[in-house]
Structure 1
């Protein structure tokens, strides 16, 4: 698999609260972030979502600021879920 990406990834671990109709609410953490999305480390999440589904999220930064956003599932893997900002 090619590792070519339009936007570079930065390894960032921050708490994220995800809300979805199938699993309710879950708190986990990001593995990396880019200009266009995040990868969330949570292997169990893969069984509850599908590519194209939308998830509401709150990202918590180190300085206790909260950023609310909506994300779309774009990648599923054994380690977690790739989500694009929409």
Structure 2
């Protein structure tokens, strides 16, 4: 049997609110579904957010006691319910 999962990092379920900024679509608040050493998956429901694979976005975790850093990420996967984002330095 061939393994169809080509991800290089194990995923951990994690729900956090993140602000995602795209130069064309603007800013949105989304929830994460999981995180790994390589990136995150954001759940997008009913929003007009539809970046192309390869687009760069800025992501910042919300709701922390101090402002989180803004991270540059790249859209690497699209599914029916959201997008896989890879950390830009990967």
Q: TM-score range by the shorter chain?
A: 0.7 to 0.9
Gap regions ≥5 residues in structure 2: none
TM-score by length of 2: 0.81
TM-score by length of 1: 0.84
Alignment RMSD: 2.1
- Partner of 1:82 in structure 2? 84
Q: Distance in 1 between matches of 2:80 and 2:73?
A: 19
- Partner of 1:55 in structure 2? 57
Task: Say which one has the larger Rg.
Answer: 2
Greater strand share, 1 or 2? 1
Gap regions ≥5 residues in structure 1: none
Compute the displacement of 1:22 (Å). 1.9
Give the SS at the match of 1:83. strand
CA contact (8 A) 2:25 2:49 kept: no
Aligned residues: 85
